[in-house]
Structure 1
Amino acid sequence: MNAGQPQGRQVAGIAPTPVRHLYDDALALLLSWRAPNQTQEQLRRGFLSALAGDPMAVSKSGPPAHLTASCLVLSPDGGSVLLHLHGRAGMWLQFGGHLEMGDDSIWAAARREAQEESGLDGLEPLPAPIDLDRHALVGNFGHCTEHLDIRFLAVTPSGRMPRASDESTDIAWFPVDALPSNIAADLPRLIDVGRARLTAGA
């Protein structure tokens, strides 16, 4: 095991040093985030319980159910959404993935994933999460069985030309009222949440 890898489990709710900053940030973020409804509040509490049960829940090398960060990308008017066809999942999704030790925060992880998977430099999510989602994985994801996803929103003109990453088989802008058929079941709701945030002037 090299120096950059987590050094096993810790007790008393303290994360191992290499991921401690992500644990601290996730804890602070979830404690301060005001859920918009009861469903989201139950998810917030569930995410906090996951962290309390195993502080390594901020790492892919932690428990099979662990935190991730994602970013929905909309056009400024909310009329178009940028999605990628995920190679493993076989579905059109927002951008996102696992937290990495080099990420300064959960927000930074969402920004990195959005920039890497869209090919759009300078893509900056809004500061606060817009949504939480807990979902079982379908496809070849190895050790991972469930993602506890903290979701952010970024806005960029739909005229910007994206570039697919190695994890994607395609990437494209879609009108929000003409989405492809093979999308994640929760994606329409997430898009509605993002558009509502735009309307509210987030």
Structure 2
Amino acid sequence: MQSQTSVLSLLNDYQPKDPEEQKARLFIQDFVQQQTAFWSRETLSGHLTASAWITDRDCRQAVLLHHRKLDMWVQPGGHIDASDPSLIDASRREAIEETGLDGLYPKHRDIFDLDVHAIPARKSEPEHWHLDIRFWWVADDLSLQINEESNDLAWLSAAEIRKRTDEESVLRMVRKTLRES
């Protein structure tokens, strides 16, 4: 996994325009400075996660999945593994695992979006924070393959996404990328 220094540099280079996203950046920076295992699931108060915002080449639709455990529509993403060389690599791995899309390429290699959200307690896991670092990926092949973590998986237009979720961080990514039909 990337060092604290390189992750902090990546965060410093990202300048969000949205006030909520700016708060998230400051929270994540502080967390990374204080936690040596900032990415590890074993850091029970919270940990960084890596998500993938995937659009088609024309920015007319994005991939969302209906998350089985959270019972909501979200972008692909998840926990960072010790074997992931970087955050962007973790994002790509999660995208492939959750969508089956292997032919992804990054729109750019910088952070695309940030979010901090609470994950409810479950079984042996206490409630904790996911400090989500998001990267923008573009897919040429639109063939999706659902996995066991999801109830549904689909390419959706901006209008279709708004029908499925009112989650502000997802809608913010829609506003940043998708063209209205």
Query: What is the TM-score when the length of structure 1 is the normalising length?
Result: 0.77
Greater RCO, CA 8 A, separation 6+: 2
The alignment's C-alpha RMSD in Å is 2.2
Deviates more, 1:165-174 or 1:34-43: 34-43
After the TM superposition, which residues 74-153 of structure 1 pair with which residues of structure 2 at under 5 Å, given as runs? 74-125=55-106, 126-138=108-120, 140=122, 142-143=125-126, 145-153=128-136
Q: Deviations over 1:92-123 (max 9, x none)?
A: 11010011111000111111111111101122
**Aligned residue identity for 2:139:** T
Secondary structure at 1:56 match in 2: coil
Q: Is the 8 A contact 1:88 1:140 kept in 2?
A: no
Distance 1:91 1:66, change over 3 A: same
CA contact (8 A) 2:157 2:178 kept: no
- Identity in percent: 30
2:13 counterpart residue number = 32
Unaligned 5+ segments in structure 1 are: 1-18, 197-202
Structure having the higher strand fraction is 2
Q: Which has the larger radius of gyration?
A: 1
- 2:27 maps to 46
The runs of at least 4 aligned residues of structure 1 exceeding 4 Å deviation read none
- Structure 2 unaligned blocks of 5 or more: none
**Does 2:175 correspond to 1:192?**
yes
CA distance in 2, matches of 1:163, 1:139: 29
Question: How does the TM-score come out when normalised to structure 2?
Answer: 0.85
Q: 2:151 aligns with which of 169, 172, 193?
A: 169
